[in-house]
Structure 1
């Protein structure tokens, strides 16, 4: 049965349907980056709020690059299913929260109009780290071609160009400010977005920059749910077990976490009534997630791929790789920061290992390995820097970092990374004996995040040499 509004009432009883009529609800949220993670996370919380009786919080999704999500969801009236997979039978739930999907390059004016609309009160973002166009020092890279084009008013093409145009429309029409809620895996993501957008607006329109500072908020948030890429086999299994033909289906784990800084300009859905946590300070939770979960994920990816493995569950089960990932979480990352009161990091590590081991959720290592240059500063280098300051080393992270260094050389296949060409040139000029210093030494490419000690460079060189020999 093809999923759409006309077939909702005919779905099998095992498929949970919305408790509201989606087409009767207006949009209150614009989401930039409407990929699988958003559909399995923020949209699920918003759907739960409307199931509980809240109204007019549907989401206008924006795809900043391709038509794929638009082509999946629009023929289905925006409906799609979320299947939670564990050793038990999957639970299938139809989500009605997404009202429409705009393809930004095809209709930029419609995106700007949605951002400028007074009905829009919250803008959420899951655009991945590289879409923030940050320099190695953490600020906005004004020399990035897309950023420069938007500053020349030839856009919009970046999140800053779209937000600037939308905010200008709100200012001119007295539509009020916005809450701009980043849900990307970056440290201090709200503050980072605020800083970069302000830098952009100061050059784009200084008066608009001032208006934005006084009328908009940028809460930080921490999101956590493992959402592997959906496969054709997943879709076939869904159709066979539940009778639903769903081109937009997403598959995820039962666990879900959303920690949000309580700093909103206007009203918002009651996400905290459905599992989200509203807190004054997201930082300890965010740090635990970035350094423990994401740090271990990246370690499993590069170490696992080097051993010919494909899935997270395979990597955590490998005696050598699993042991290093556990040490990274428990002995290195968990001791590199101060947790919040009541935040049990040992229990958190136990949960992570159980989640990584979930055989029903085939999370591909190659997916995690993408864009490593944008991820390792928060996932590994911050831990290395914090522990180095107190005279402690990180043998597990150093071994994982050596695997990443070898991975980005590209000898084992195509490297999907925005710094691919720069890393390749660095490899070519530095070679095996100099690459560690070229990347992490006093004058290294990543020196703003971590300047390695001589001992750490020696350990990296040893791991690189040993790996190259095998």
Structure 2
């Protein structure tokens, strides 16, 4: 079967597949994206594609994979083209965005990346490098490229982190200006680092998705992926070029003065629930999030977690609507979002997702049952074997150390909680020393050990759920 590329684009079906309308071969990249992967290609790249179609010619993307060569090379063979299957309540449709104009691999060709940062046409750098990606190597790459711009007398850039880190723009700015000197002063004065929040569920690509793309396109696509219809990008009004704000807003981006209300709601409602369900699903032997939320006890748990222990401390006013939308999104059967994919790097994610809500609930003298249950399920998840006796792999930078602690105290809830509560990098400085928290986690771990996750959930609901639960 022929491959998707610029020569075969006209072979796509006339109905059912949206294709790029811009004259791509005349475009040069205005955006350098670091962290080329599924999320960027199903989120920001579609926003930039919309802008290109509307005649804003400087939003083409040079996508950079940090280390892996496989995807970047596949996309290069396809001239940056790939198909996205979008699943909504109205059904499935396919889109081939045209924003990705060029690809590189930072580890293999750093000079190409530095040249791109220093290119006169480059206006933005966007990043999806995950929580563990803010490294000295990233700082060095950005500083070297920005130094070339400074030396060439070029304008500064807007650098936007598109990830789940709180205050991500300020974190990136601090990373880039940590070394005092003239370059850091130039970066601080000439570049902009807006905070942003991004939201779209994008599962990892699967062989089934690639096969579905072949059937829909009539072409082979090595980089096809799937996502949901919902998306949200909220970005702080902080740009080198003020005209970028209205341009992004015209494509559906929410441009605000303060991202925090949206950021906190997403981290604690969506991501916090995702982490809890991922651990439950892995331990129970469920494959995907739709299986989890399709289990009535888990759905009831997630609704109560969000409504009673997370939402009271959010400043996003429409949190109830956001919660209800999340419950529907989690149940989308087309997404097939693996619980093990979501559980990846849990030690880096949990500190941002659960402790802030738990600390505030404790300070207010309110209930923590669902947050403590989440923590207990995570401790059970660390054993690396589900309730059917089948092993699974922990994909986490702290996997070896955490699993060793969990296994050393397997079956002893009190000892497990004592050992793993000492990890301040997971729980922060407050929770490990709060007897209500450690006591609740120990209680729920004991019930999970005795009854299994589902049995412990049902017991929790009997004790805490109000009448008229969803």
TM (norm. structure 1) is 0.89
Task: Please state if 1:357 is matched with 2:331.
Answer: yes
Structure 1 stretch displaced more, 34-43 or 111-120: 111-120
SS at match of 1:83: strand
Query: Which residue, 94, 97, 108 being the options, matches 1:95?
Result: 97
Task: Please state if 1:168 is matched with 2:147.
Answer: yes
Residue in 2 aligned with 1:4? 5
Residue in 2 aligned with 1:280? 257
- How far is the alpha carbon of 1:198 from its aligned partner? 2.5
Could you give the per-residue CA deviations for residues 300-355 of structure 1, whole angstroms, max 9, x where no partner exists?
1111221111111110011222211111111111112222xxx3111111100011
Structure 1 stretch displaced more, 384-393 or 59-68: 384-393
Task: Please state if 1:225 is matched with 2:200.
Answer: yes
Residue in 1 aligned with 2:209? 234
Distance in 2, matches of 1:302 and 1:253, equals: 22
Query: Which residue, 161, 164, 168 being the options, matches 1:189?
Result: 168
Distance in 1, matches of 2:199 and 2:277, equals: 17
SS at match of 1:255: coil
SS at match of 1:44: helix
Could you give the per-residue CA deviations for residues 119-145 of structure 1, whole angstroms, max 9, x where no partner exists?
211100001111124xxxxxxxxxxxx
Distance in 1, matches of 2:186 and 2:430, equals: 32
Go from structure 1 to structure 2 and tell me whether the alpha carbon gap of 1:361 and 1:398 turns closer, same or farther (over 3 Å shift): same
Matches within 5 A, 1:195-210: 195-199=174-178, 201-202=179-180, 206-210=181-185
Residue in 2 aligned with 1:393? 367
Could you list the runs of 5+ residues in structure 2 that have no partner in the other structure? 386-390, 453-470
- How far is the alpha carbon of 1:427 from its aligned partner? 3.8
Distance in 1, matches of 2:12 and 2:444, equals: 55
Residue in 1 aligned with 2:468? none
- How far is the alpha carbon of 1:108 from its aligned partner? 0.8
Task: Please state if 1:297 is matched with 2:270.
Answer: no
Contact map agreement 2:431 2:437 (CA 8 A) in 1: no
Query: Which residue, 28, 42, 45 being the options, matches 2:44?
Result: 42
Residue in 2 aligned with 1:152? none
Matches within 5 A, 1:75-94: 75-94=77-96
Distance in 2, matches of 1:212 and 1:289, equals: 29
- How far is the alpha carbon of 1:442 from its aligned partner? 9.5
Could you give the per-residue CA deviations for residues 248-270 of structure 1, whole angstroms, max 9, x where no partner exists?
11210011110010100136482
Contact map agreement 2:432 2:438 (CA 8 A) in 1: no
Go from structure 1 to structure 2 and tell me whether the alpha carbon gap of 1:243 and 1:192 turns closer, same or farther (over 3 Å shift): same
How many residue pairs match? The answer is: 440
Residue in 1 aligned with 2:223? 248
CA RMSD in angstroms comes to 2.0
Task: Please state if 1:259 is matched with 2:234.
Answer: yes
Matches within 5 A, 1:67-466: 67-133=69-135, 147=136, 158-199=137-178, 201-202=179-180, 206-266=181-241, 268=244, 270-339=247-316, 343-411=317-385, 412-427=391-406, 432=412, 433-440=414-421, 446-448=427-429, 450-466=431-447
TM (norm. structure 2) is 0.89
- How far is the alpha carbon of 1:62 from its aligned partner? 0.6
Query: Which residue, 52, 57, 60 being the options, matches 2:59?
Result: 57
- How far is the alpha carbon of 1:457 from its aligned partner? 0.4
Distance in 2, matches of 1:271 and 1:450, equals: 40
Contact map agreement 1:441 1:457 (CA 8 A) in 2: no
Go from structure 1 to structure 2 and tell me whether the alpha carbon gap of 1:241 and 1:420 turns closer, same or farther (over 3 Å shift): same
Could you list the runs of 5+ residues in structure 1 that have no partner in the other structure? 134-146, 148-157
Distance in 1, matches of 2:429 and 2:145, equals: 33
SS at match of 1:5: coil
Residue in 2 aligned with 1:29? 31
Distance in 2, matches of 1:30 and 1:130, equals: 20
Residue in 2 aligned with 1:136? none
